[in-house]
Amino acid sequence: MLSKLHDSPWAKELSSIFKEVDMLYVYRNDLCCNINSVKNNLLFQFEETWSKNVLLKPKLKTCMQMKEIFAPETCFSLFV
């Protein structure tokens, strides 16, 4: 039964998320974990990738001169 669950599409996606944040042992051993820790690790990974990739795009190099970190723009919060 458990092997069938680990073969499902959502389980494979979950496995890849845990692998991304270096917590695959949690998934493999069916352990409980702090979801906020996983979320923070994912956000950190995303920010690192974003800051590296944005420099590779000529039109976004100007953006990086004004914006040092990945964060939603405050002007967008006016419309939400």
pLDDT for 59: 74
Strands (E), 1-80: none
Quick one: 38 and 50 in the same domain? yes
pLDDT band at residue 71, thresholds of 50, 70 and 90?
low
The number of folded domains in the chain is 2
Query: What is the share, in percent, of the chain residues with pLDDT greater than 70?
Result: 68
Quick one: 10 and 45 in the same domain? no
The boundaries of the domain holding residue 26 are: 1-31
* pLDDT tens readout for residues 26-58: 888 888 989 999 899 988 888 888 778 877 877
Quick one: 45 and 69 in the same domain? yes
- pTM score, two decimals? 0.61
Quick one: 23 and 52 in the same domain? no
14: exposed, middle or buried (C-beta count within 10 Å: 0-12, 13-18, 19+)? Answer: middle
- Mean pLDDT of the chain, nearest integer: 78
